[in-house]
């Protein structure tokens, strides 16, 4: 039987050794892990403008196509001195609406057209969902979207990040003919053919679909003034 | 479990030691016979790639935690031995998780919490208590590796069938030709959901026991 003193000394040494080795590993790997997160974000931003990338060419492609980034508030005014790429939407959406800093990424594609990319963030069934949405130069028609999620049900809610769900978003419109913000409805049972304000929901993924619909509506509503100002010029 | 090796001249892969590696594949399989580690077997077997990475991660952690605990076995105070085991396991799991996040980011996202949950995988504590605390480092290491692979093999088999029947793919590649879909074949969405993992494991247990009568309960 070991004495109490032995046990205390033993556990102290063990814990210190483990703490030191874990700290060492964490510090060593941190730059690489942060790069992975940055690269994934770049890939997502580009994917919403229908630009395919790989992990290796993501940074290069991002620098090539993303020609401008800016941060605006919900009144559509530009906030100077804020880094659009570094903003975390998970934190921004928790702030009161008038204090949110909202990033906008502008992609200039090879045909010379400019597409504006807006980040989205909301709640699915099990956890956060997020994505990016790009608008064409009319600031009304959706050019492309990309969605992702933390832990939606595989085969059901998790299908939001598949092409089958994302592709039909292209060509839909955020504003109706009178210029009123209508957003996009994610319709259970399928959108009516030709409906420019609706897409098909995912069978069995109703709560994720509804959460996604709310995310697009809430997030794009914050940009409404900015978009309207731009669209009218 | 009386593999107390007395002689130092014993070859590294003696009959006794190779048995430690092989046993977990069949008669002492952690999943199908000991029914340990079922939770992660259900969760990460939708596709083969995460299943393989999970299998490797568990194998590394079982191998090295067995090795470390076996080295320390005479110094560990009996009263806090479970805590010591947990600290060793937790440290190894965190290291594996950090490495995955740095080098296999996409897979680590798919495995999400399940890498962290290797800490609570019953196979680990089971092997530490049952084997590493009473055996020399090398046999303990082999026992850990064997059990990790025994667990991983079942994971990969289950993932193979779930990915093939649920998504029509193997390791992310489409294998079912378009012609088959045109004749009316559809992927079975149920295979993607956890209950089918349980049923697949059930079928594996059934097949194994019908071949090995000694595994069937006498009562």
Q: Does A20 touch chain B (CB under 8 A)?
A: no
In a domain, B60, yes or no: yes
List, for residues B85-101, the tens digit of each pLDDT value: 999 999 999 999 999 99
Contact: A21, B91; criterion CB under 8 Å:
yes
Within 8 A by CB and 6+ apart from A187, the residues are A195, A198, A199, A200, A201
Please say if the pLDDT value at position B5 is more than 60: no
**What are φ and ψ of residue A60, in 5° steps?**
-60, -45
Residues A33-37, mean pLDDT to the nearest whole number: 93
Contact check, Cβ <8 Å, A22/B95:
yes
pLDDT value at residue B96: 93
Q: Is the pLDDT of residue A107 over 80?
A: yes
| Dihedral, A124, A130, A136, A140 alpha carbons, nearest 10 | 40
Is A6 near chain B, with CB under 8 Å? yes
Q: Hey, are the CB atoms on B101 and A155 less than 8 Å from each other?
A: no
Residue B26 inside a domain? The answer is no
Contact B17, B139 (CB under 8 A): yes
Strand partners, A200: A187
Q: Which residues of B touch A2 (CB under 8 A)?
A: 77-79
Q: How far is B8 from chain A (nearest CA, A)?
A: 28
Per-residue tokens: B126: 């089971």
Render pLDDT for A146-181 as a digit per residue (tens, 0 to 9): 999 987 877 788 889 888 899 999 999 999 888 889
Q: What is the DSSP letter of A79?
A: P
Residues of B in contact with A150 (CB under 8 A): 112
CA-based nearest residue to B168, from B183, B158, B156, B178: B178
Judged by CB atoms closer than 8 Å, whether chains meet at B98 and A29 is answered as yes
Q: What is the dihedral of CA B2, B7, B11, B17, to 10 degrees?
A: 0
Domain range for B54: 35-212
CB A213 within 8 A of CB A197: no
Question: With an 8 Å Cβ cutoff, is B173 touching chain A?
Answer: no
Residue B7 has a pLDDT of: 47
Q: Residue B146: inside a domain, yes or no?
A: yes
pLDDT at B2: 44
Rama region for B29: left / alpha / beta (φ>0; ψ in -120 to 50; rest): beta
Q: Tell me: the pLDDT tens digits for B42-65?
A: 888 888 988 999 999 999 999 999
pLDDT at B183 over 50: yes
Residue B9: pLDDT over 70:
no
**pLDDT score of B8 more than 60:** no
Instruction: Give Cα B161 distance to the centre of its chain.
Output: 17
- Residue A154, classed as helix, strand or coil, is coil
**Residue B58, domain member (yes or no):** yes
- Closest-CA distance of chain B to residue A199, Å: 22
Main-chain dihedrals φ then ψ at residue A117, nearest 5 degrees = -110, 130
Query: How confident is the model over A121-146, as a mean pLDDT?
Result: 93
Predicted TM-score (pTM) of this structure: 0.80
Q: In total, how many domains does chain B have?
A: 1
Chain A touched by B46 (CB under 8 Å) = yes
User: Which chain B residues contact residue A25 at CB under 8 A?
Assistant: 94-95, 98-99
| Tokens of residue A140, six digits | 């009304």
B27 within domain boundaries: no
Q: What is the mean pLDDT of residues A75-87?
A: 88
How many beta-carbon pairs below 8 A join chains A and B? 59
pLDDT of residue A32: 94
Does a structural domain hold residue B17? no
Q: How does the average pLDDT of chain B come out, rounded?
A: 87
Partner A contacted by B43 (CB < 8 A): no
B61 neighbors B94 (Cβ within 8 angstroms): no
B48 assigned to some structural domain: yes
Asked if B84 and A22 come within 8 Å (Cβ–Cβ), the reply is no
Tokens of B162: 């779930």
Whether the per-residue pLDDT at B113 is higher than 50: the answer is: yes
The CA distance from A215 to A184, in Å, is 10
Residue B10 is assigned to a structural domain of this protein:
no
Q: To probe the interface with A, which of B92, B101, B169, B193 has the most A CB atoms within 10 Å?
A: B101
- For the residues A113-125, what does the mean pLDDT come to? 93
Contacts with B103 (C-beta within 8 Å, 6 or more apart), sequence order = A32
Distance of alpha carbon A17 from alpha carbon A67, whole angstroms: 48
Residue with tokens 């059934």: B206
Is residue B219 scored above 60 in pLDDT? Answer: no
Range B54-81 average pLDDT? 94
pLDDT at B3 over 50: no
Q: Check CB contact of A22 with chain B, cutoff 8 Å.
A: yes
Nearest beta carbon to residue A22 from set B80, B91, B189: B91
Contact A151/B75, CB-based, under 8 Å?
Answer: no
Instruction: Give the model confidence (pLDDT) of B12-30 as tens digits.
Output: 888 888 888 888 887 888 8
Is residue A232 scored above 70 in pLDDT?
no
Q: Is the pLDDT of residue B178 over 60?
A: yes
Three-state SS across chain B? CCCCCCCCCCCCCCHHHHHHHHHHHCCCCCCCCCCCCHHHHHHCCCCHHHHHHHHHHHHHHHHHHHHHHHHHCCCCCHHHHHHHHHHHHHHHHHHHHHHHHHHCHHHHHHHCHHHHHHHHCHHHHHHHHHCHHHCCHHHHHHHHHHHHHHHHHHHHHHHHHHHHHHHCEECCEECCCHHHHHCCCCCCHHHHCHHHHHHHHHHHHHHHHHHCHHHCCCC
Q: Are B27 and B214 in contact (CB under 8 A)?
A: yes
CB B97 within 8 A of CB B115: yes
């Amino acid at each position: 039987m070991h004495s109490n003193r032995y046990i205390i000394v033993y556990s102290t040494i063990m814990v210190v050794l483990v703490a030191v080795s874990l700290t060492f590993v964490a510090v060593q790997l941190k730059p690489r892990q942060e790069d992975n997160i940055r690269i994934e974000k770049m890939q997502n931003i580009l994917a919403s403008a229908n630009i395919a990338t790989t992990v290796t060419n993501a940074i290069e492609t991002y620098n090539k196509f993303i020609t401008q980034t800016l941060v605006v508030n919900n009144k559509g005014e530009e906030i100077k001195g804020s880094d659009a790429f570094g903003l975390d939407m998970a934190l921004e959406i928790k702030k009161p609406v008038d204090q949110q800093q909202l990033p906008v990424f502008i992609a200039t594609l090879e045909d010379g057209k400019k597409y504006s990319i807006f980040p989205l963030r909301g709640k699915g069934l099990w956890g956060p969902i997020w994505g990016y949405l790009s608008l064409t130069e009319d600031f009304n028609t959706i050019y492309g979207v990309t969605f992702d999620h933390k832990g939606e049900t595989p085969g059901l809610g998790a299908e939001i990040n598949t092409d089958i769900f994302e592709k039909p978003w292209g060509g839909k419109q955020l504003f109706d003919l009178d210029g009123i913000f209508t957003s996009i409805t994610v319709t259970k049972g399928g959108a009516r053919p030709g409906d420019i304000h609706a897409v098909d929901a995912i069978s069995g993924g109703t709560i994720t679909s509804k959460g996604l619909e709310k995310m697009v509506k809430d997030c794009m509503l914050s940009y409404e003034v900015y978009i309207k100002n731009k669209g009218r010029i | 479990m009386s593999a107390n090796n007395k002689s130092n001249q014993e070859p590294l892969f003696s009959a006794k030691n190779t048995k430690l590696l092989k046993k977990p594949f069949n008669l002492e399989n952690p999943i199908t016979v000991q029914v340990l580690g079922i939770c992660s077997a259900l969760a990460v077997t939708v596709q083969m790639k995460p299943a393989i990475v999970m299998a490797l991660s568990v194998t590394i952690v079982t191998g090295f935690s067995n090795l470390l605990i076996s080295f320390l076995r005479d110094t560990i105070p009996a009263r806090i031995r479970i805590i010591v085991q947990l600290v060793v396991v937790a440290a190894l799991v965190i290291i594996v998780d950090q490495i995955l996040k740095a080098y296999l980011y996409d897979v680590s996202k798919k495995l999400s919490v399940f890498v962290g949950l290797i800490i609570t995988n019953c196979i680990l504590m089971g092997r530490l208590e049952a084997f590493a605390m009473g055996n020399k480092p090398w046999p303990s290491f082999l026992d850990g590796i064997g059990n990790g692979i025994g667990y991983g093999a079942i994971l990969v088999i289950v993932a193979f069938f779930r990915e093939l029947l649920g998504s029509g793919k193997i390791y992310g590649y489409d294998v079912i030709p378009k012609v088959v879909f045109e004749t009316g074949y559809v992927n079975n969405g149920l295979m993607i959901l956890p209950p089918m993992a349980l049923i697949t494991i059930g079928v594996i247990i059934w097949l194994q026991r019908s071949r090995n009568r000694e595994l069937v309960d006498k009562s």
